[in-house]
Structure 1
Amino acid sequence: MKKRVNLTFPKRVINVPVAYRLAKDFNVAANIIRAQVDPNKVGKMVLELSGDIDQLEAGIEWMRSQDIDVSLHGREIVIDENTCVDCGLCTGVCPTGAMTLNPKTFQLEFLRSRCIVCEQCIAACPVNAISINL
């Protein structure tokens, strides 16, 4: 089973090796999608966890016991097709290729299954056609 989670680390927990502990102690693979972790600052991370459902739950409970805020990742990117001008600026910042311009029609194509919700496209859109659905 796979789960995508958002983690928020308090300053004092920033040095906890989360991905290592999940793998070693719970047999859970942790794919780091996005991380913003700096010494003496609150850290944020998006992880895709995969493993047995019971082990996933145990790993999530362990993270919470370490005072790491864990929330399930339910957000997704939404594109307003009426506002989008198909400029392609979002395609240049998309790290997974979820956003591409069709070479024949020059229209934006969005593959939701490839999207990791990194939100880089939101800032790149000059007409504010891209948003996030919470």
Structure 2
Amino acid sequence: MKKRVNLTFPRSVVQMPVTYRLAKDFNIAANIIRGQVAPNQVGKLVLELSGDIDQLDAAIDWMKANNINVSLTTGEIIIDEETCVHCGLCTGVCPTESLSLNQNTYKLQFRQQTCVVCEQCIPTCPVQAITTNL
């Protein structure tokens, strides 16, 4: 089973080797989608966790017990077709290539089924046509 989670680390635990512990202690594969972690600052990670459902639940409980704020990501990226100017800037930051420009029409194409909702496209859009329904 897979779960996508947003983690927020307080300063006191930002240097904890979380992905290592997930793999070693819970047999969970952690794919880092997005991360912003610096010493002595609040850290944020978006992870896709893969493993047995019971182990996933135990790992999430362990993170919460260690003062890591865990929230499950269940939303979707939404593109406002009326606002989008089809500039293509978002295509350059999409790690899954879910956003692309049609080579014939030069219009933005979005493949929802491959999107991991990493939200990297949102701040990139100059006209704020990309949002999430979280």
| TM range, smaller chain | over 0.9
Report the alpha carbon displacement of residue 122 of structure 1 after superposing the two structures with TM.
1.8
Q: Which residue of 1 aligns with 2:3?
A: 3
Q: For 2:27 and 2:118, locate their aligned partners in 1 and report how far apart those are by CA, in whole Å.
A: 26
Q: Which residue of 2 aligns with 1:80?
A: 80
Please show how residues 5-84 of structure 1 align to structure 2 within 5 Å.
Answer: 5-84=5-84
Stretch moving more, 41-50 or 69-78: 69-78
Match of 1:19, SS state, is helix
Match of 1:94, SS state, is coil
Match of 1:74, SS state, is coil
Q: Structure 2: which 5+ residue stretches go unaligned? A: none
**Pair 1:127 & 2:127 matched:** yes
Runs (4+) off by over 4 Å: none
Deviations 1:58-90 (A, max 9, x none): 010011111111110123210011221222121
Match of 1:55, SS state, is helix
Q: For 1:8 and 1:125, locate their aligned partners in 2 and report how far apart those are by CA, in whole Å.
A: 24
Report the alpha carbon displacement of residue 46 of structure 1 after superposing the two structures with TM.
0.6
Q: How large is the Cα RMSD of the aligned pairs?
A: 1.2
Stretch moving more, 19-28 or 110-119: 110-119
Stretch moving more, 92-101 or 39-48: 92-101
Match of 2:64, SS state, is helix
Report the alpha carbon displacement of residue 127 of structure 1 after superposing the two structures with TM.
2.1
Report the alpha carbon displacement of residue 101 of structure 1 after superposing the two structures with TM.
0.5
Q: For 1:126 and 1:34, locate their aligned partners in 2 and report how far apart those are by CA, in whole Å.
A: 20
Report the alpha carbon displacement of residue 120 of structure 1 after superposing the two structures with TM.
2.6
Match of 2:59, SS state, is helix
Q: Which residue of 2 aligns with 1:93?
A: 93
Paired residue total: 134
Q: Structure 1: which 5+ residue stretches go unaligned? A: none
